A and B are shown apart, each in its own frame.
Chain A
Amino acid sequence: MRDLNIYLTGVGGQGIGLLSRVLAEACLEAGYDIKSVDTHGLAQRGGTVISQIRIGEKIYSPLIPKGEADIVIGLERLEAFRAMQMLKNENGKVLYYDSQYQPIDVRLDDHHYPSKEELQEYSKKKKCEIKDVKNDQLPDPRMQNIVLLAEIAKLGWIENVDAQSIKNVMREVLPAKIRTMNLKLFDDLIME
């Protein structure tokens, strides 16, 4: 496969570390050479969090050059919108979980929160494919990660990273206490 840049984003506390770890290891399982990096700053305190995964043989920097992300994966709508600026100008792909965490500027009415339509509109300018997922039945919001992983498996945007390879990694990586519950959710979503 040619080089592929995956840019993940969300809000501190959503569990992007686990999502990124599972995806990175699934890429390794698929036989790719990867480099990745997390940027969390004051992440636990509700700021923007970013994780970057780069697939390819001649990758030097773990940082994706601006405008060269092939895939954006967002855990939250506004952050997915922001991350779309990192996307290349053609043939990019965006998948986001449609949770909505208002930043303080929105709550103070100094700024607006983007609608789904705004993201759609911008995706036309960026000439990219965009898809969002949501599941209102989750017992724990951190399971939104699993919903995204199942969708990534189904969409097949990353060649050879499929339900089986993701599941293999989840079995290894997830803490024992939440493993069964998360694997079951993943299976159910794949079967849908």
Chain B
Amino acid sequence: MSRFVDKLLQPKPHRELIMGNHALVRAMLETGVKVATTYPGSPTPEIAAAITAIPKEKRPMYFEYSVNEKVALEIALGASVNGHLSTVFFKSVGLNVASDSAVQLGLLNTIGGMVIILGDDPGAHSSQNEQDNRHFARTSYIPMLEPATPQEAYQMYKDAVQLSQKYEMPIFLRMTTHVCHANQVIELDQLQIDDYSWESKFDTQKGPYLPITSKVFPLKKEALNKLAKMEQESENSPYNKVHSPNGKGAVKGKKLGIISSSMPVLSILENLKKVTHPIDILQINFSYPVPESKVAKFLENHDEVLILEELDPILEQEVKNIAWDNGSKCRLHTRQEIDDLVGELTPARTWKILDDIWPDLFQLSTKEIEKPDISPRIAQMCPGCGHRSAFHAIKKALPEDAITVGDIGCHSLGFFKPYNVGQVLLSMGHSNGTGSGLSINNNRKVVTFIGDSTFFHAGIPGIINASYHDHNITLVVMENGTTAMTGHQPHPGSGEISAKIPIKTILESLNAGFIRDIDTYNQKKLTKYMKEALDFDGFSVVIARHPCMLKFTREQRRKESYNPSHVKIDQDSCRHIYDCIEEFGCPSFTRNEDGSITVNRELCIGDGSCLQTCPVSAIEFDKEGDKNA
């Protein structure tokens, strides 16, 4: 076993430098989680990576990559109502997919305990929005804990398990990107892995488990009762506490306070280091239900209070309600600018808000040095990526006014320069619904894209609908054999967990009138198929497949027999047409100041997919260079 797994399974209490996501896995092992499920999505994939790093025979839990977040959540629910402690984790927008079932969970007695880990993404570092899932706690009557550090994530997870089992209700643990990916030395407790009987405890007497007709109302009342009890837990929780980093006192005769939660508390504490004003902070990390008495008392003890949170004004509304109900005389400050509702609340942005509210107390002292003009670095497909060949070939077949609809996955990057393919993008699996709508009574060609993992995740209903109603779209399945964007997790078509479920066979069974299947490196034929598909009247499909070359190259490098290969530009033949960089756009090509093109050998993987793109055949394999290397 690896050093990492040895440490993760180390029975004795010990200190460990550990990432937030990995701290959660240790907490799962310590609490005896029996079923864990997920669909991969940043910022949470490291949780699954740590679980799967443990060899199956040593893994004291059942784990699966489910086909999507809704299924993952339902499996965790099924396990919990059968008496097994379960956990499900996914990214922020994953909860949208799971929500149809998630909103029911608060109504059910999850007798085994159930913790739902959310990876919210303020700043949208790797998501299509920065939605604030604190709203969901309210919609579904589920309590929420929000850790600010890996230490707190570890402890809170264990406390969430206890609360969940005590009240037989699920608990949300809302992580954010920089809590998931923060590292800190943590004191880890003892880990004892006991034998487990897997006794089935499902019992309708513990339910009811069917919130329909008249049963809805008693279940809803019970959920609200549980929440009321949970508010007492929140009142008594050590996660809801007052910090006075600069001591107690008044500033110019006024007692000042800030109410905040989770990581923004850390940003505030960073900024209070730079001043001496005795400003108190009420941290509310057990954030739903909000501890009303604690908040009311804090308001009573202060003359002015700023409510400073990340993203939506949720705490703000809660605090305002409490102030009203308690006839508070405290002056409340809130964020004023729309800008302050957008993005991560970093220490620097927090300082700016503090300066807006209390300009006398937080003045900016450092002078800004003129910013140099630096090129942005847009994410791009890897060298050798089959999607690059696909976009290059498909563009040659597209009429000027074609509408291209992208989906979530590596191929979303096709929207960027130089391809600009995939002009609409909403959510996982949306492309065929959106594309079908665009195609109604439209003379312009509509092309939709979907990756293979997304095909299984949420793509199938839209595709069936397109075939069922014979919408006039051309679907391109960008099949690379893995869930590439999130780090190469398996999917039903990848063949790693069980026999491949072939996408082509599924499509054939849907009565699509036109289906072609081609490796994207065969660019000429892909262009030809694409033209034929576009000419076809009705729903047509082109499967554009090539294995993920990042995954493939990594596997090759592990082999003893691996010989690196590269291409080069024959400078005598090159006519500076620049198709290689301006149309094909492989990052391995370098444009030099004298106008010449060379190959960056650190990036090139020698796949040769570029050779066919040069009109004067100036790109060739660098056999000589590779022999001498």
Contact = CB atoms under 8 A, between A and B. Distances in A.
Interface of A: 11-13, 24-25, 28, 33-48, 58, 60-67, 78-79, 81-82, 85, 89, 99-114, 118, 122, 125-126, 141, 172-173, 177
Contacts of B271: 65
B3 to A, nearest CB: 7
A13 B600 CA distance: 14
B612 interface: no
Contacts of B485: 42, 44-45
A42 B126 contact: yes
9 contacts: A35-B182, A37-B183, A39-B181, A43-B379, A81-B372, A105-B375, A105-B376, A106-B591, A108-B417
Contacts of A34: 17, 183-185
B590 A100 contact: yes
B499 interface: no
B590 A107 contact: yes
Contacts of A63: 178, 267, 346-347
A103 B370 contact: no
B589 interface: yes
A172 B602 CA distance: 27
Contact of B348 (A25, A65, A177): A65
B178 A122 contact: no
Contacts of B181: 37-40
B182 A37 contact: yes
A86 to B, nearest CB: 10
A174 to B, nearest CB: 10
A136 to B, nearest CB: 11
A24 B192 CA distance: 29
A36 B375 contact: no
Contacts of A109: 591
A46 B377 contact: yes
Closest 7 A-B residue pairs measured CB to CB?
A: A111-B375, A47-B379, A42-B379, A61-B266, A65-B347, A141-B602, A60-B269
B338 interface: no
B366 A67 contact: yes
A64 B177 CA distance: 15
A160 B9 CA distance: 31
A89 B367 contact: yes
Given A28-B17, A45-B379, A100-B590, A89 B346 contact: no
Given A61-B347, A63-B346, A108-B418, A37 B380 contact: no
B515 interface: no
Contacts of B126: 40-42
Interface in B262-316: 263, 265-267, 269-271, 273
B182 A36 contact: yes
Given A63-B267, A102-B590, A28 B371 contact: no
A106 B603 CA distance: 16
A126 B369 contact: yes
Interface in B170-209: 177-178, 181-185
